């Protein structure tokens, strides 16, 4: 299954689950086909401190699909290449292997508080551990903690104080 097929299948599953939870009366949100409109919406959204128990990759994909944005539009709204968004959404990619500056940009764009980022990263670690994706779980945990400190420092450098408090 290629990336686009996997993306369509995940979107179908999300929509089906939302429909089930709403008793079949789920109305799909408007789709964003313009990255500037999406960027403006994200910029004015509240800081997200509380997130569901998901790995970072699933969270990012869920945000994008809930906004009805294609990978291309979402990437443009985040000021990132499409390939980077695909990496961020990939279940094969461990968050702490992604450049902290990129993650800080994404966190800033999505208004994702550092505590939420920590939770999502810990869930990513847990899933990687359970799926035996980690050769040395303790080393990976330390790498994740070091990476989170680098992301915090980058957010601080960017003046994203509201995402750090």
Instruction: Provide the token pair at 56.
Output: 């970072």
The model's pTM is: 0.78
Q: What is the pLDDT of residues 117-158, one digit of tens each?
A: 999 999 999 999 999 989 999 999 999 999 999 999 999 999
Task: Fill in the DSSP letter of residue 114.
Answer: H
- Using an 8 Å Cβ cutoff, are 152 and 114 in contact? yes
100: left (phi over 0), alpha (psi -120 to 50) or beta: alpha
Q: What is the pLDDT of residues 62-115, one digit of tens each?
A: 999 988 899 999 999 999 999 999 999 988 889 999 999 999 999 999 999 999
- Using an 8 Å Cβ cutoff, are 32 and 67 in contact? yes
Q: What's the pLDDT at 136?
A: 95
CB neighbour burial string for 19-46, b if at least 16 within 10 angstroms, e if fewer: eeeeeeeeeeeeebeebeebbeebeeee
- Using an 8 Å Cβ cutoff, are 35 and 73 in contact? yes
pLDDT at 8 over 80: no
């Amino acid at each position: 299954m290629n990336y686009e097929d996997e993306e369509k299948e995940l979107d179908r599953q999300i929509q089906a689950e939302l429909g089930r939870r709403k008793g079949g009366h789920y109305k799909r949100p408007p789709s964003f086909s313009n990255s500037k409109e999406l960027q403006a919406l994200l910029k004015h959204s509240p800081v997200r401190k509380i997130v569901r128990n998901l790995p970072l990759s699933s969270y990012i994909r869920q945000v994008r699909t809930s906004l009805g944005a294609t990978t291309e539009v979402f990437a443009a709204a985040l000021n990132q290449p499409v390939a980077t968004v695909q990496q961020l959404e990939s279940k094969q990619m461990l968050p702490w292997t992604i450049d902290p500056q990129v993650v800080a940009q994404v966190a800033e764009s999505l208004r994702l508080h550092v505590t939420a980022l920590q939770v999502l990263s810990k869930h990513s670690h847990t899933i990687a551990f359970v799926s035996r994706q980690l050769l040395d779980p303790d080393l990976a945990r330390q790498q994740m903690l070091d990476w989170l400190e680098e992301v915090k420092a980058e957010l601080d450098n960017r003046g994203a104080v509201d995402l750090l408090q």
